[in-house]
Every structure is written in structure tokens, then in C-alpha cells.
Amino acid sequence: MGTARYGLAGAGTQTAGLGFGGYGSGTYLTSTEEYDGSAWTAGGSLSTAKGNLGGAGTQTAGLAFGGFTTVTSNATEEYDGSAWTTGGNLGTAVRYNAGSGTQTAGLGFGGYITGAVANTEEYNGSTWSAGGSLGTARYSLGGAGTQTAGLGFGGSTFSNETEEYNGTSWSTSTAMTTARRALGGTGTQTAGLAFGGQTPAQSSATEEFTGGSVTTTASILTTS
């Protein structure tokens, strides 16, 4: 990436990825970068510098929500492939939250306010509304899937729990092999991927979720 950082959010695919916000060089960042499958290039900046935020959508229809600036944020921004504009605010300001889905059917869940929360909110492209709560309140969890077939896994405090969302409620599913938080997540509810994180040591483990079972892959991240 052009800018080293942590606590950023991501969206998109392996050949059309999006990374935005985060913390680097002693400050919160507005910078956005786009990935084409081989290299990162600068995109339009977030309106507000923030880290530990939720992300969803695609490279040309991205969604950024929640996070931390000088305070915990309820703001939402939408990306059109070149610039960010203001979207509808979350019902509850939250940071260390997970996200999945699209810009017009987004899902935000979990996070931290004064402690771990089980909140779930659904976005329709303009407004957020309350969804079913997670079975276990947690923050710094991984997310994948869609608004009606979501996946949440890991999180505080070094959890291996997995939950599936059906558009109304969350249900417990197969636990990860490695309990961890602050991990990456992508894919779908039946083909999810969890990687990296804190165990509390830095982890290079990668696990695949196939909608009822978890497999620890032979391939691990090069860097924990």
C-alpha cells in the first residue's frame, strides 16, 4: 500500500479492492487506496479522518461507517469510485465494528461503545435501521457475506465464536479453530475466509468457512 496503517476498513474484491481510513504516522487518516489485483493507487479521501471503522460494498460503491476520530462516530460515507459523500447516520455511534453487504444493502454489527456491544444495523442506501442483535456482544470481529446472509466471527476477548445472520436474527454456527480478535474477513456465508489477527500473539492463521464447517488451510499468511 502507499500508506502504512492499521485500524483501516476494506471492501471490494481481490481484483477491485478498496482500503480506507485507519491510523498511521501518528494520526488518523482520510486516505483511500484502490487495488487492481497487482498495485494500489490513491483514491478520493474520506471527508473525516478516522480509524477502527466498518466497511462494506465494492470499489465503485463503497460504504464506510462508525469508527473513531476524536470521539466515537455515527457517520456514514459512500464512495462512487472517485469521491466520498455523506450518507445516513448510524442509529448508534460505535467503533471497532464489523461490516458486510453492499452500499444499498449494508450490514453493521458488533463494536465498542463503553464496552462490547451486540448491536446490528441494516442500511438501505439512505438510512440505518435496527436488526437482530448478535448472540454474543463483541468488538474487533471479522465480517463477511450480505445483509440477509451475514457472517460474524472472532472478536473480543480472543473469541472463536461464529454467528450467521439470516436478515432477521443471528444464530450460533461452527467455531473457528483459532480464537482471535482484530482479524480480517471476506467472502460469503457459505464460503468465508478469516485470516490474521491477535491471539494475543500476532497470528498468521487462515481458516475457511463453508457454511457449517471450518477448515484450517495449509497456506498461512507470510506475515503475522
Question: What is the rounded CA–CA span in Å between residue 37 and residue 99?
Answer: 22
Residues 180-187 have a mean pLDDT of 97
Closest CA to 120 of 196, 59, 106: 106
Residue 39 has pLDDT above 70, yes or no: yes
What is the greatest pairwise CA distance in the chain? 42
Q: What angle do CA 138, 69, 43 make, to 5 degrees?
A: 100
What is the pLDDT at residue 211? 85
pLDDT tens, residue by residue, 91-103: 999 999 999 999 9
Residue 85 has pLDDT above 70, yes or no: yes
Residue 221 has pLDDT above 90, yes or no: no
Residues 98-116 have a mean pLDDT of 98
Q: Which CATH architecture has domain 9-179?
A: 6 Propeller (2.120)
Q: Over pLDDT 70: what percentage of the chain? A: 99
Residue 53 has pLDDT above 70, yes or no: yes
Query: Other CB atoms closer than 10 Å to residue 69's CB: what's the count?
Result: 15
pLDDT tens, residue by residue, 128-145: 999 999 999 999 999 999
What pTM does this model have?
0.96
146: left (phi over 0), alpha (psi -120 to 50) or beta: beta
My answer on whether omega of the bond before 157 falls inside 30° of 0, hence cis, is: yes
What is the pLDDT at residue 218? 60
Q: Report DSSP state, residue 88.
A: P
| DSSP assignment string, 149-190 | SEEEE--TTT---EEEE-SS-EEEEPPPSS--BS-EEEE-SS
Residue 150 has pLDDT above 80, yes or no: yes
Where are any strands of DSSP class E within 4-89?
Answer: 9-12, 17-20, 23-24, 27-28, 32-35, 40-42, 54-57, 62-65, 76-79, 84-86
